[in-house]
């Protein structure tokens, strides 16, 4: 299972603030390419996993490399 770590730095009043967050895909496998694409906007991060498999809703057959997107929201400080 893959993981991605975000490091956010900002300086205010000569202090350095650093936040760490390790995000996991609870249903992920090491071959899913979790974290290959990431977008961050405000308090949200979306992390892609472009090699995940998913069932086709119409047939129930497995779709290889269907892909997944995981949306995370930063909690209160």
* pTM beyond 0.85, yes or no: no
Alpha-carbon gap, residue 20 to 22, rounded angstroms? 7
What residue ranges of the chain have pLDDT lower than 50?
Answer: 1, 7-12
The residue ranges of DSSP E strands in the chain, in sequence order, are 3-12, 15-24, 34-41, 44-49, 54-55, 62-63, 68-73
* Per-residue confidence (pLDDT) for residue 19, from 0 to 100: 63
* Per-residue confidence (pLDDT) for residue 58, from 0 to 100: 93
* Torsion 27-4-46-33 (CA) sign: negative
């Amino acid at each position: 299972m893959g993981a991605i770590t975000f490091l956010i730095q900002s300086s205010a009043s000569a202090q350095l603030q650093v936040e760490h967050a390790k995000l996991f895909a609870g249903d992920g496998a090491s071959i899913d390419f979790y974290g290959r694409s990431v977008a961050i906007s405000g308090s949200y991060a979306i992390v892609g996993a472009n090699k995940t498999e998913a069932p086709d809703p119409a047939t129930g057959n497995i779709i290889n490399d269907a892909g997944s997107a995981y949306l995370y929201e930063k909690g209160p400080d």
